[in-house]
């Protein structure tokens, strides 16, 4: 009897599964459509240090410019601002937050911490500064993609372990999207970096953009979902 009951229920469960799949697909298309709509561009700010600013690169080779081109090629309508300042620590980023992230910003790619690690700043200070920036962004209902950084090994294993954990911990605590390591795929590769071995060249930035693009699309979808919810309530 049990086997027969299970067999009878199978078509019903199958239909429910199909309906759920159709619903989720429709929702995804709806969200994507809002993210790609032409009348209301998503105002996105790349907020970071020299890795964002494009140290020693032509403006069109910098991370924000290459990312903007990649998003445009995929049909997204995004106004992407370069709020990168070379040499910035998380403390400096916190100090300039108000003018770096202007009114009307929908989403932020937060890339800070590399200079803290290079200078051996206490990880607790880096964490506190990043969290203060994140809280300011959340207060303004700005969606965030947090990009991680890894500490150099010259400060010791304990320092590196504590510093490296900051980003995943904050992303989990505050429900943020996380790209674990901004320099993933290019770190220590001489062909993709400038002569200093620390900053990506144009080709290196292209690799970063290719790798981070799916996460940026998730960020835009969060903006779209929030807009859709706001429209449904109005």
Distance, first Cα to last Cα, the chain? 52
CA count, 13 A, side-chain hemisphere, 136: 20
- 179: tokens are 């790209």
Measured CA to CA, the distance from residue 144 to residue 220 in angstroms comes to 10
Instruction: Indicate which residues carry an active-site annotation.
Output: 50, 196, 199
Residue with tokens 């880096």: 126
Dihedral, CA atoms, 209, 210, 212, 213, nearest 10 degrees?
A: 100
Q: Return d(Cα 109, Cα 151) in angstroms, integer.
A: 20
Beta bridge partners of 178: 146
**3-class SS of residue 111:** strand
In whole angstroms, what is the distance from residue 212 CA to residue 177 CA? 11
């Amino acid at each position: 009897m049990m086997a027969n009951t299970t067999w009878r229920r199978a078509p019903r469960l199958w239909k429910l599964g199909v309906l759920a799949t159709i619903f989720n697909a429709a929702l995804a298309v709806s969200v994507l459509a809002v993210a790609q709509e032409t009348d209301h561009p998503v105002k996105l700010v790349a907020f970071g240090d020299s890795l964002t600013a494009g140290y020693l690169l032509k403006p069109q080779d910098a991370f924000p410019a290459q990312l903007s081109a990649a998003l445009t090629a995929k049909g997204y309508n995004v106004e992407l601002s370069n709020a990168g300042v070379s040499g910035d620590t998380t403390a400096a980023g916190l100090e300039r937050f108000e003018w770096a992230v202007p009114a009307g910003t929908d989403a932020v790619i937060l890339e800070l911490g590399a200079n803290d690690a290079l200078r051996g700043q206490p990880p607790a200070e880096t964490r506190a500064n990043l969290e203060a920036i994140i809280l300011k962004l959340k207060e303004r209902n700005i969606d965030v993609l947090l990009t991680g950084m890894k500490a150099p090994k010259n400060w010791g294993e304990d320092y590196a372990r504590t510093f490296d954990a900051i980003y995943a911990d904050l992303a989990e605590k505050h429900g943020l999207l996380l790209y674990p390591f901004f320099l993933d795929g290019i770190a220590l590769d001489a062909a993709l970096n400038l002569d200093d071995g620390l900053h990506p060249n144009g080709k290196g930035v292209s690799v970063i953009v290719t790798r981070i693009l799916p996460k940026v699309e998730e960020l835009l979808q969060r903006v779209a979902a929030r807009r859709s919810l706001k429209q449904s309530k109005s």
